[in-house]
Amino acid sequence: MPELPEVETIRLNLHEHLVGDRILKVTLRRADIVCGDPEDFLAAVGGKRVVGTDRRGKAMWLCLEGDIAVAVHLRMSGRLLLVQSSDELPPHTHMLAELSGGRRLIYVDPRRFGRLELLHLGRFDQSVILRNIGPDALSEDLSAQYLQEAAGAHSVGIKQFLLDQSHLAGIGNIYASEILHRVGLHPATPANRVTTEEMQRIIDATREILEAAIGARGTTLGDSQYQTGLGQSGGYQQCLRVYGKAEENCPVPGCDGVIRRSKIAQRSTYFCPVCQARGRGRRAGR
């Protein structure tokens, strides 16, 4: 599932290649991928020029002239691709937009959990896609105090807490494992027992890892559908330290741990039982 670095990579691609183009015509092959009335969507978007892009967490939107925007949440298997008009459409193409630059923007989604939505500027709080999305994981305003207060009422494990998009938006299953390994924190540590200092280290590791992943155009694993907005694979899978590495040696210098895979809240979780030992005595996993 695309997480913040993958969505940001797509947004950057579209920002570079799409801003300034006019959307000549939109075709919906499956109306049920649109939140709200598909007729309203088509009528509002057709003929508009793309003036910008934005993102919060795993949701992104294209800003159009006329104070409207088109939000996209890719969920499990959605792909937003810029293709040539002459290119053959991939299977599961549910939306295509003809652009003035002679290309097409297409939305492809085999599992169809993803959604598109028409947004009106100033009424983002009414959006289905943006509802319950907390501050972005790369927001400069994010503080350890905020996270600790958000965790205050939650005795769930810190990994599950990080996956809850209402507290912090953009982190999914892959990067949560990587972040907690970098910090040296066991994924099942109760969120409300994580110290302010550890929360600060989580914020620092999140920035470091997500920014490196954006630099590598995201993570494309064997079973994932993720492609950049230009149809390329990501490169950060070569930099993963624990995710998908069960039974391999922990890459932390001097650590003799072996990476373990376990299920936490029904999701595969990877960690080193030595440098991410439970409770006291844990040491930084750098």
- Provide the annotated active-site residues: 2-3, 58, 267
Q: Does 272 bind Zn ion (CB under 5 A)?
A: yes
**Host H or E run for residue 64:** strand 59-64
d(CA 255, CA 273): 10
Segment interacting with Zn ion (CB under 5 A) among 17-25, 58-66, 125-133, 244-252: 244-252
Q: Does 277 bind Zn ion (CB under 5 A)?
A: no
Distance of CA 163 to CAs 134, 152, 226, Å?
11, 16, 19
Segment interacting with Zn ion (CB under 5 A) among 23-31, 42-50, 63-71, 270-278: 270-278
b/e map of 238-252 (b: 16 or more CB within 10 Å)? eebbbbbbeeeebeb
Strand duo 23-28 + 93-99: pairing: antiparallel
Q: Does 257 bind Zn ion (CB under 5 A)?
A: yes
Nearest CA among 75, 73, 282 for reference residue 188? 282
DSSP label at residue 82: E
Binds Zn ion by CB under 5 A, chosen from 130, 250, 264, 269: 250
Binds Zn ion by CB under 5 A, chosen from 252, 264, 269, 271: 252
- The residue number with the shortest CB distance to Zn ion is 250
DSSP label at residue 168: S
Residue number, 66 or 257, with CB nearest to Zn ion: 257
Q: Does 138 bind Zn ion (CB under 5 A)?
A: no
- Tell me the two tokens of residue 239: 């930099």
**Host H or E run for residue 100:** none
Segment interacting with Zn ion (CB under 5 A) among 68-76, 142-150, 164-172, 265-273: 265-273
Site map for Zn ion, 202-241, x if CB under 5 A?
A: ----------------------------------------
Q: Does 274 bind Zn ion (CB under 5 A)?
A: yes
Residue number, 210 or 275, with CB nearest to Zn ion: 275
Q: Enumerate binding residues for Zn ion (CB under 5 A).
A: 250, 252, 255, 257, 272, 274-275
